[in-house]
Structure 1
Amino acid sequence: MNAPSKFAGFALGLAAVFGIALGVGALIGPEPAEPAGHDEHEAVAPPTELPGGLMATDQGYTLELDQPNTQAAAQSTTSFRILDRTGAPVTQYVTSHDKDLHLIVVRRDMAAFQHVHPVLDTTGTWTVPLNLSRAGDYRVYADFTPASGSNLTLGADLRVAGNYDARALPGPKTTAQVDGYTVTLDGTVTPGTASQVKLSVSRDGRPVTDLQPYLGAYGHLVALRAADLAYLHVHPEGTPGDGVTVAGPGIDFVVNAPSSGDYRLFLDFQHEGVVRTAEFTVRVAQPDATVVTDDPATAPADHGTPGHGH
């Protein structure tokens, strides 16, 4: 074959290969000229940390109830263990708010609440008497810090057999009555932010200014999300005896609500040697949420797409 013929054959072959490459490229899609820079990628938000109490196992630790099913009784001895990742009971804890472990027990309709402090034996078993006279499904929360770990709140279900008198969640109120005391809630809880609230205690219309320390503060607040009983992180402000924090009537807290919805707040406070619990329902909404009402006279003006009412 002469040179011109060889060249023509080579050119035809090259064209065929190039055409195939173009076809494949059209099917697969073009390759970027150069890798995208770090700043060019869409930012991905880190995963949101779950609220406490939704899991029985977290960070290698497990809450294990000895008897997750029991009968209704006014005095029911309950025992449990915190197991490490090897399955061994944890026996060493860090003291927090004057106790090595706080146990919160609440019926799922939140009509029965207890905050107690079990006793730990040498085998790693915690034991505590509970008032389980009201049948139903309960959520048990263990709030603790193991000696070799960080603070955790683990949750487990406790089923109490008997006649279950289910109750509807009480509506939101800013005052609560307990044993002749009135507790008033001030402040707005906003989802996704650290919200400051004040709970003020009075009796017979007079402010109580001699509250007694309880669990290292003048009050201890537990907050639960009604939809799934998620356990919120709540922090008291100030410390008794620090020269700044007064012994009432107001007790300041920082509440972190992860989402909108109804929440149940339980305030334990001590006065004249007795610990009492005031209970509130709080409705948490986004700041721009529009309140829905059936009364045209009180309905907000229409400014476009309505927000979600709560």
Structure 2
Amino acid sequence: MNTGLKITAFAAALAAAFGTAYGVGRGVGPVVAARERPAAVHGDHRDQAAPAAPGASTVPGGLQVSAGGHTLALRPAALTAGRPGLLRFTITDARGRAVTAYEREHGKELHLVLASRDLTVYRHLHPVRGADGTWSTPVELPAAGDYRAFADFTPAGGQALTLGADLAVAGAYRPAALPAPSRVAEVDGYRVELAGTPEPGRAGALTVRISRNGRPVTDLEPYLGAYGHLVALRAGDLAHLHVHPHEGPAGPKVSFTATAPSAGAYRLFLDFRHEGKVRTAAFTVHAH
């Protein structure tokens, strides 16, 4: 990370969208125990409980291609479904120059999330930056259609930003409905159960419990400084927020404090690592 409910930033001005993460996932990053340094909340990187600074934008993260004097420019902005491709882009400053200096967040200078508009496809990627400021990452997307690319970063000496740009994936397109609401996700033999429901304008707990073969997983591994990464995308406009848990045991539960900025449907994506592999569990929830 350093891409609808890291959604990479529902600013504090939007009721601290998905709020300040807490407890069960001990932050380690790159390899620092959470009891020494808790994992940080990631999104717009502002204090989610603090009021927005005077003049700060109230637009949710990822909805703008340009903000804070910076622009996300995809090159090219098209891929073909089912075929390996290379996604390239730059972050430019107010003078149109490619940015080459960044702050590191959770071991990375920039985090990239790709999501289809129907929220059925999700990718959390970590591209490589060239000396000229061009970022690149291999990617293969299974379905054609419209996607949104979210770049989450902090320019050196600047403020954290989440910028978004549209991405076209060529091929035979069949629109899909938003997956039905569910409290359980199955992925690679793991069962991930979600407890709690976000409420508009009110902070509440969201907790996931991870098990395999009926047994709780208590040895989750740090992934980019935390035991769990939560990305939430609001259906319709794909407003973006990314939250990390704070210190705690390595499972089976990972918890977050969440405040939905509005009523509506959200798609939640939880990344967790176990036995050396990162897996993603997805849920659809309704805030009302």
TM-score by length of 2: 0.78
Deviation, structure 1 residue 69: 2.5
Larger radius of gyration: 1
Give runs of aligned pairs for residues 89-108 of structure 1, distance below 5 A. 89-108=98-117
Aligned mates of 2:244, 2:263 — CA distance in 1: 20
- For residue 132 of structure 1, give the secondary structure of its aligned residue in structure 2: coil
Deviation, structure 1 residue 68: 1.4
Please, which of 247, 251, 274 is the counterpart of residue 250 of structure 2? Answer: 247
Contact (CA 8 Å) 1:63, 1:156: kept in 2 or not? Answer: yes
Deviation, structure 1 residue 233: 4.2
Contact (CA 8 Å) 1:236, 1:252: kept in 2 or not? Answer: yes
Equivalent residue number for residue 272 of structure 1 = 275
Q: Which moved more, 1:183-192 or 1:215-224?
A: 183-192
Aligned mates of 2:230, 2:242 — CA distance in 1: 9
Aligned mates of 2:256, 2:104 — CA distance in 1: 20
Equivalent residue number for residue 202 of structure 1 = 211
1:75 aligns with 2:78: no
Aligned mates of 1:270, 1:236 — CA distance in 2: 14
- For residue 280 of structure 1, give the secondary structure of its aligned residue in structure 2: strand
Deviation, structure 1 residue 176: 0.6
- For residue 89 of structure 1, give the secondary structure of its aligned residue in structure 2: coil
Please, which of 84, 95, 115 is the counterpart of residue 93 of structure 2? Answer: 84
Cα distance change on mapping 1:103 and 1:47 into 2, 3 Å: closer
Q: Pairwise CA RMSD of aligned residues?
A: 1.7
Contact (CA 8 Å) 1:189, 1:284: kept in 2 or not? Answer: yes
Cα distance change on mapping 1:64 and 1:256 into 2, 3 Å: farther
Aligned mates of 2:132, 2:107 — CA distance in 1: 22
Q: Deviations over 1:46-94 (max 9, x none)?
A: 9982210000000101000011123334311000000010100111111
Aligned mates of 2:97, 2:203 — CA distance in 1: 36
1:115 aligns with 2:124: yes
TM-score by length of 1: 0.73
Cα distance change on mapping 1:195 and 1:85 into 2, 3 Å: farther
Cα distance change on mapping 1:213 and 1:228 into 2, 3 Å: same
Contact (CA 8 Å) 2:202, 2:259: kept in 1 or not? Answer: yes
Aligned mates of 1:53, 1:279 — CA distance in 2: 19
Aligned mates of 2:59, 2:145 — CA distance in 1: 26
1:167 aligns with 2:167: no
Count residues in correspondence.
235
1:152 aligns with 2:149: no
Please, which of 235, 248, 251 is the counterpart of residue 226 of structure 1? Answer: 235
- Counterpart code for 2:285: V
Deviation, structure 1 residue 264: 0.2
Cα distance change on mapping 1:88 and 1:194 into 2, 3 Å: farther
Contact (CA 8 Å) 2:229, 2:242: kept in 1 or not? Answer: no
Deviation, structure 1 residue 189: 0.9
Please, which of 175, 195, 199 is the counterpart of residue 190 of structure 1? Answer: 199
Aligned mates of 2:89, 2:57 — CA distance in 1: 29
* Higher RCO (C-alpha 8 Å, min separation 6): 2
Aligned mates of 1:174, 1:73 — CA distance in 2: 30
Q: Deviations over 1:96-134 (max 9, x none)?
A: 122111100011111111001000010000000111231
Aligned mates of 2:206, 2:142 — CA distance in 1: 33
Q: Deviations over 1:14-40 (max 9, x none)?
A: xxxxxxxxxxxxxxxxxxxxxxxxxxx
Contact (CA 8 Å) 2:226, 2:244: kept in 1 or not? Answer: no
